Amino acid sequence: MKLAGHLALAVLLAVFLLAPFIVHPGLVFIAGFAMIQIVFALSWNILFSYAGLVSFGHAAFFGIGAYLSAAALRYGWNVSFLLIPPASFALGAFAAFLVAIVVLRRANGIQFSVLTLALSQLVVVLIGYSPYLGHDEGISAIPRPVINLGIATLNLANPLANYYFVIGVGLVTILLIWLVVHGPLGRTMQAVRIDPERAAFVGIDVWRLRVASFTLSGGFAAVGGSLLAPWAQIVHPDYVNWLASAQPIFATLLGGVGHFWGPVVGVLGLAGLNYFTRTFVGISEIVVGASLLVVVLVAPQGILGALRKAARKRKAAAGAHP
Amino acid sequence: MTTSRRQFIGGALGMGALSAFPMPAIAQSGNVIKIGLITSLQGGYAAFGQNHKRGAEFAVEEINAAGGINGKKLELVVRDDGLKPDVGIAAARELAGEGVRIFTGGLVSGVVLALNGIMGELDSVFISAAAHGNNLTHEDFRPNYFRVTDYSAMRVAAGSGLVAQKYKTAKVWGSIAPDAEIGRSVMDVVNYHLPRVYKAQNTIDIKMTETLWTKFGATDYRNEIARLMSQGIDGLVVGLGGADETTFLQQAGQLGLTKKIQGFFTSGSEFLGAIALKERTPENYWSGFHWYYGAYPDNPISQKVVEAFRAKGYGKHPDGFVGMTHAAMTAIAGGLRKGAGPTAKEMIPALEGLTFDSVKGKITLRKEDHQAISDVNYALLGPAKNEDGWQVLDFARVDGAQFAGPPTPGKALSFT
């Protein structure tokens, strides 16, 4: 199972890296967009699968990165675009920290989820009032930046350079998220998720741990958002609203709850379903919805959960009949 | 490590799936010019999107039946944008990879703005058939974008002129609009034009009461209706759209507001409210259209589209979305007939300043901002005892040239 997993990851990485040479530009765009969605979904999964928190309004932090990046490019801020993803992380994390210290002080469980949803909708309303952020129309026709690397320049107007920039920043962010959740902080998060009272009893400051998780998660979501502006060249309130917040939830449920790579499988599954049903006008939503329903009914633990179960069964069967 | 038969088959299937992906950059074949139609075929806009598709199909059938253009046939490739900008972009990039360089369609502003932004990079043109936002030919103008229909400010200004002509004694005007950019921009135009046009045409000073701002998706307008009734208004501007407008009209009719006033107008809901409300359609209701077919009994192009729509069993009343993709395809054909090839470099100069006959008469694509100078259509709808439950009592074909405003590509409209 472990070997198969590593092999699948290697194949996936190869497909992402070789996509511009093997598929048409429409699919390359979908691959880049999927990478952005993967970062977003993994940031949400830090909360759900590790810290035991459910945010219904995570797109607000994604939106902070997206709008920061869009404004920097559209209004020609005099800063290197290389600084925008880290700046987005800082701003997203700061906003998440402010939300966490207010909301987590009082709310838990479902109240927490609903409050995050309300706050994210507030962000949508605020964007609607802001001429700088393009009201309800968003910021469009965003120019792609030229990044000065000292020894060379990277012109993101070149589609290939732009693709590898998105994939590169995406992969680095995925690696950072992996390191966080597989390090001491991640293990402490799991302890709190499994039993907050017992975690507190052994000396873990549960509130502080939850604030830290939420802060980090908001920061990583904003990094994902910062890649949207140069990639899609439009940032719109639709990427911030409740439906956008539901995307990482769908992806995680489809891919596999409790797995680090679950959201990745989910995002790719949803992107694949949407792509292959794109010409079934009128029934594509039914096909996508029915597929999700089947997964939930047949494999409540998601695709990875079902695969793990099947592998265990096979192993047990192999053990019984050597 | 050994490879079992099952693992091998799995791997082979995986490779097969990968190799089945279409390869990039498939050029246009010699005798066909592909036109990409990107519109919204699902969700709340599905009916409009379907009509977009039908109008373009009628035009392609007509053009191909007449021998095509310069010996080449047109082929329509339809993609659904799912109301999402990123889905629209993916579709455009996919079609561009297959050699498509001419696009039309576009229903929701977010998708159109997104497509507008990438047309230059794709060396393509987008001929928008319905998007109404002022910004598309003003602050967000891009050289690769053309619009064959009127735009919000032009339609609302023409509507102001129309009501000033029809309701000469209406001195107090109320308004209701969503508290969002679209609502605010409609009210900017109304507040600027309505008092001026009344003064110019009827030499009276009208009073505009304070606009009632609502939220998108509201389901209860009783408070707003009560306030409008207490304001003593003679006329009303409704800046709501889609389902919100239908809900408001239903409640305004029930509570008697629409009977109490002389008339009201909405900028762009076509037959939507009447089809939904049937015999509960309110009185004195001027609805804006991209194209109202009943206004063109003398236009053979319009008549042909109406006949094709009915012959296919799509219904009795083709709406403006049918007409506008038909007009967009006619414009594209006009550009190609001038000798332009299907690339942005050749199509842009061919379309700039192009005048062509369409379902709503002559349309000129203004050179400076690529905005259509065309008629603006309104129809007066009301309840009826017929199979539809509603009827058209009157209509207007307003010359839009006087309301189009000067071209200011790159600059936002200003009413100060």
Res A175 pLDDT > 80? yes
Q: Are residues B322 and B384 in the same domain?
A: no
Predicted confidence (pLDDT) per residue in B102-132, tens digit: 999 988 878 898 899 899 989 999 999 988 8
Q: Are residues B196 and B328 in the same domain?
A: no
**Interatomic CA distance for residues A318 and A38, integer angstroms:** 35
Predicted ipTM beyond 0.90: no
State residue A321's pLDDT score: 59
Q: What are the angstrom distances between the C-alpha of B181 and each of B174, B187, B213, B385, B410?
A: 19, 10, 11, 38, 18
B26 occurs within a structural domain: no
Q: Does B20 touch chain A (CB under 8 A)?
A: no
State residue B133's pLDDT score: 83
Q: Are residues B355 and B211 in the same domain?
A: no
Res A308 pLDDT > 90? no
State residue A296's pLDDT score: 81
Q: Nearest Cβ partner of B181 from A135, A141, A238?
A: A135
Q: Are residues B163 and B115 in the same domain?
A: no
Query: What would the mean pLDDT of B312-335 be, rounded to a whole number?
Result: 96
| Longest CA pairwise span in chain A (Å) | 70
Best probe of the B interface among A140, A233, A275, by most B CBs < 10 A, is A140
B382 occurs within a structural domain: yes
CATH number of the domain bearing residue B359: 3.40.50.2300
Res B11 pLDDT > 70? no
State residue B9's pLDDT score: 36
Q: Does B116 touch chain A (CB under 8 A)?
A: yes
Q: Are residues B139 and B175 in the same domain?
A: no
**Interatomic CA distance for residues B404 and B113, integer angstroms:** 21
Looking at the structure of chain B, the number of domains it has is 2
Query: What would the mean pLDDT of B59-64 be, rounded to a whole number?
Result: 96
Q: What are the angstrom distances between the C-alpha of B12 and each of A273, A275, B16, B17, B218?
A: 21, 22, 6, 9, 54
B309 occurs within a structural domain: yes
State residue A92's pLDDT score: 97
| Inter-chain residue contact B46 with A282, CB threshold 8 Å | yes
Q: Are residues B348 and B385 in the same domain?
A: no
- pLDDT confidence band for B18 (50 / 70 / 90): very low
Q: How many C-beta neighbours within 10 Å does residue B117 have?
A: 23
B408 occurs within a structural domain: no
- pLDDT confidence band for B312 (50 / 70 / 90): very high
Q: Does A242 touch chain B (CB under 8 A)?
A: no
Q: Nearest Cβ partner of A232 from B14, B85, B182?
A: B85
| Inter-chain residue contact A27 with B21, CB threshold 8 Å | yes
State residue B12's pLDDT score: 36
Chain A residue at shortest CA distance from B135: A137
State residue B28's pLDDT score: 52
> Where do runs of H (alpha helix) occur along A52-158?
59-74, 84-106, 109-129
State residue B185's pLDDT score: 80
Q: Nearest Cβ partner of B90 from A22, A29, A159?
A: A29
Sequence-ordered list of residues with C-beta below 8 angstroms from that of A217, at least 6 positions apart, any chain = A43, A44, A46, A47, A51, A55, A58, A61, A96
Q: Nearest Cβ partner of A140 from B26, B41, B114?
A: B114
- pLDDT confidence band for B29 (50 / 70 / 90): low
Q: Are residues B106 and B46 in the same domain?
A: yes
Percent of chain A with pLDDT over 90: 60
State residue B279's pLDDT score: 93
State residue B359's pLDDT score: 97
Q: Are residues B183 and B253 in the same domain?
A: yes
* Cβ-Cβ contacts under 8 Å, B25 against chain A: 24-25
Q: Are residues B324 and B338 in the same domain?
A: yes
Q: Does A282 touch chain B (CB under 8 A)?
A: yes
B222 occurs within a structural domain: yes
Q: Are residues B202 and B275 in the same domain?
A: yes
State residue B1's pLDDT score: 39
Q: How many C-beta neighbours within 10 Å does residue B116 have?
A: 25
State residue B321's pLDDT score: 95
Domains and CATH numbers, chain A: 2-320 (1.10.3470)
Of B202 and A299, more confident: B202
B232 occurs within a structural domain: yes
Residue B135 sits in which domain range?
32-150+296-373
Q: Does A223 touch chain B (CB under 8 A)?
A: no
Q: Are residues B306 and B284 in the same domain?
A: no
Q: Are residues B184 and B105 in the same domain?
A: no
State residue B16's pLDDT score: 36
